[in-house]
């Protein structure tokens, strides 16, 4: 502090903020803490817009629940090391399946928010219809892949012969159902991206969003 009670120059909150801005730059004004950086891809018309939005909320809820289940099962496995007895070998198996279910259930949600791991190179090179064409090809590939895998998963469920998992003895047809649902939702989001973003980009020559 200076003798007059004021802060010395260069030590106040403003100077700290200025130093941070000089180091990393000013944050974009349009981004607010807690705001979604990648808005959800939704149809423009009702009731489809609300339906897809509610599907996204259900996906989040199920994904969150599965993550909690994984956490509890892993903690149970750790606790079993200090509890006398044989333990519960099914906990590790269910935790592994829950991790797979989480990946498939949230796949469509991540696709709708453009949150899948990707390398954006052409985005900085191409513009207009060119980038729209590339994104259309990518979404078509995702759509076809999801449809083929969904059909294969449905075939496994329909032709189930009563097999069960090794430890928890869960029927495999029930194990495959979340996978089928996740693939169907991913195909839905890929098709929606083609209709809502890619085709308008190709027609109007603007970047597909």
Which DSSP symbol is given to 161? -
Per-residue pLDDT of the chain (209 residues; tens, 9 = 90+): 555 555 555 555 455 445 444 443 444 445 455 555 678 888 888 899 999 999 999 999 999 999 999 999 999 998 888 887 767 889 999 999 999 999 999 999 999 988 887 777 887 887 878 888 989 999 999 999 999 999 999 999 999 999 999 999 999 999 999 999 999 999 999 999 999 988 888 888 654 44
Tokens of 18: 């200025």
- Calculate the alpha carbon distances from 91 to 30, 73, 80, 164, 170 in Å: 45, 6, 10, 15, 12
Which DSSP symbol is given to 124? G
Please report the pLDDT score of residue 40 as a whole number. 84
Tokens of 165: 């998992």
CA Rg value for the chain: 24
Please write down the HEC assignment for all residues of 23-91.
HHCCCCCCCCCCCCCCCCCCCCCCCHHHHHHHHHHHHHHHHHHHHHHHHHHHHHHHHHCCCCCCCCCHH
Q: Is this model's pTM higher than 0.75 or not?
A: yes
CA-angle at 96, arms to 93 and 99, nearest 5°: 150
Please report the pLDDT score of residue 207 as a whole number. 45
Please report the pLDDT score of residue 124 as a whole number. 81
């Amino acid at each position: 502090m200076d003798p007059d009670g004021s802060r010395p120059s260069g030590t106040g909150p403003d100077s700290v903020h200025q130093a941070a801005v000089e180091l990393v730059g000013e944050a974009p004004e349009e981004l607010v803490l807690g705001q979604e950086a990648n808005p959800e891809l939704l149809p423009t018309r009702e009731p489809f817009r609300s339906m897809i939005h509610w599907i996204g909320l259900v996906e989040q809820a199920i994904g969150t629940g599965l993550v909690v289940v994984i956490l509890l099962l892993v903690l149970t496995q750790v606790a079993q090391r200090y509890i006398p007895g044989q333990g519960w070998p099914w906990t590790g198996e269910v935790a592994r399946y829950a991790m797979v279910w989480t990946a498939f259930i949230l796949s469509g949600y991540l696709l709708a928010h453009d949150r899948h791991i990707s390398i954006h190179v052409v985005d900085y090179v191409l513009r207009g219809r060119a980038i729209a064409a590339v994104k259309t090809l990518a979404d078509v590939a995702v759509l076809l892949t999801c449809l083929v895998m969904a059909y294969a998963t449905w075939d496994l469920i329909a032709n189930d012969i009563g097999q069960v998992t090794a430890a928890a003895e869960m029927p495999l047809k029930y194990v495959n159902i979340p996978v089928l649902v996740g693939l169907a939702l991913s195909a839905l989001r890929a098709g929606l991206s083609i209709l809502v973003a890619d085709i308008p980009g190709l027609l109007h020559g603007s970047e597909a969003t």
